[in-house]
Structure 1
Amino acid sequence: MSKEQVLEHMVRLREELDRERQERNSFQLECNRIQSYWEITRQELEEKKAELRNRDREMEEAEERHQLEIKVYKQKVKHLLHEQQENLTELKAEGVLSLRRAQKDHWDQEQELWKEKCSLNVKLKDQEVANEAAITNLSLKHEEAMARLRSDFELQTKEMEAKYTKKMQALQDEMDLRRKTEIHELEERKNTQISELMENHEGAFCAIKNYYNDITAKNLTLITLLKEQVEDLKKREAVLEKEKADVLLQNKGLTEPLQEAQEQVAELQKKLVHYYRDKEALMNSKAHLKITQKELKDLQWEHEVLEQRFSKVQEERDELYQKFTKAINEVQQKTGFKNLLLERKLKGLLNLLEQKEVELSEVITASNLDPSALSLVSHKLEDVLNSKNATIHELQLQLARVCKAHNDMLQTFEAKLTAFGIPVDNLGFQPLSFPFPGQELGKGPAGLVSVPT
Structure 2
Amino acid sequence: QPPKKDAKKKKAEVKPPTLINGLTKEEITREQIEEHVVRLREMLDREREERNYFQLERDKIQSFREVTDRKLAEVKAELKILEKAIEDDEAHHLVGIKVFKQKMKHLLCEHHNTVTELEADIATSTDLLEDEQSQLEADLYKEMMGILVEMQESSCEDVFKELLLVRPLQIEMEELQSSVPKKINVAQKQADLSLRPLEDELTAMNVHVEKIQAQLHALFSAPNLDQTAVTEITDKVEFSENVCKSMTKTHLLPERNGDQKFCYQEPELTVEFLCLPPNRFLLFLFVVTLKCFRSSNKFKYQTHPGGQKEPRATSN
Q: Given the two structures, how large is their TM-score scaled by the length of structure 1?
A: 0.34
Greater Rg over alpha carbons, structure? 2
Return the structure number with greater relative CO, CA threshold 8 A, min gap 6: 2
